[in-house]
Amino acid sequence: MGKEAKQIAFFKISNHSELLIIIAIFSKLNLNTTKHLDFLAFAQGFMLYSKSNDTEYRKNLKPTLCSIINTLNSKRTNFDMSSAHKIELSANWILGFVEGDGSFSYDSSSSANRFSIKQKDINKAILIAIRDYFNNLARKSDYSLDINENVVNVYNEMPNFSRLNISRTSFIGDVLIPFFNSLTFQTKKI
């Protein structure tokens, strides 16, 4: 009778002191995608709400909080990042991102291994940064990469989506596999 429901796990933090810790962490560590904007809005709303336990204050705050809530996630229409916001990548950040959004696959029709990450176009900059990271990693390794080669590709796919794609077997074997083998996966993608 229809599709099976996906099994999804949620981890919720709602304790005030624990939320303050989370806000402190993500205020120091960089969120590289538009999640950064959602975090800023969430933190703003939380701080406003936490200013006072006064019932009248919170009642008057409700329209402001509703306005903030209406800018989060899929309701967001403004995706402009501050000029101070910089994409900062590390090996472990990339691993975490790949564990959430990456795909390792084999295309039997073309007998090709493939690594890819798909994002909405508004996050295309992160795919370009990851492409540059992997190209720099290749140049630092023994992998022979011509500066003009397009081994790590970022392209538009379908309306509103972009994809980073690597399908060259030698690049996957000589650069990607050693890179990911040097890290500790936390999910089943291993």
Taking CA atoms, 103 is separated from 24, 51, 89, 115, 120, in Å, by: 31, 43, 19, 6, 15
| Domain boundaries along the sequence of the chain | 16-75, 91-181
- Which residues does 38 contact at the CB level (< 8 Å), separation at least 6? 72, 73, 76
Query: Phi/psi of residue 11, each to 5°?
Result: -125, 110
The predicted model gives 179-183 an average pLDDT of: 94
For residue 118, the SS3 value is strand
Is-above-0.85 flag for pTM? Answer: no
d(CA 31, CA 38): 10
pLDDT at position 4, please?
Answer: 61
pLDDT at 1 over 50: no
Residue range 77-129, pLDDT digits in tens: 777 777 877 888 999 999 999 999 999 998 888 888 999 999 999 999 999 99
Q: In the CATH hierarchy, which top-level class contains the domain 91-181? A: alpha beta
Helices within 29-122 (DSSP H only)? 35-50, 55-69, 91-101
Residue range 136-179, pLDDT digits in tens: 888 887 776 665 567 888 989 888 999 999 998 889 999 999 99
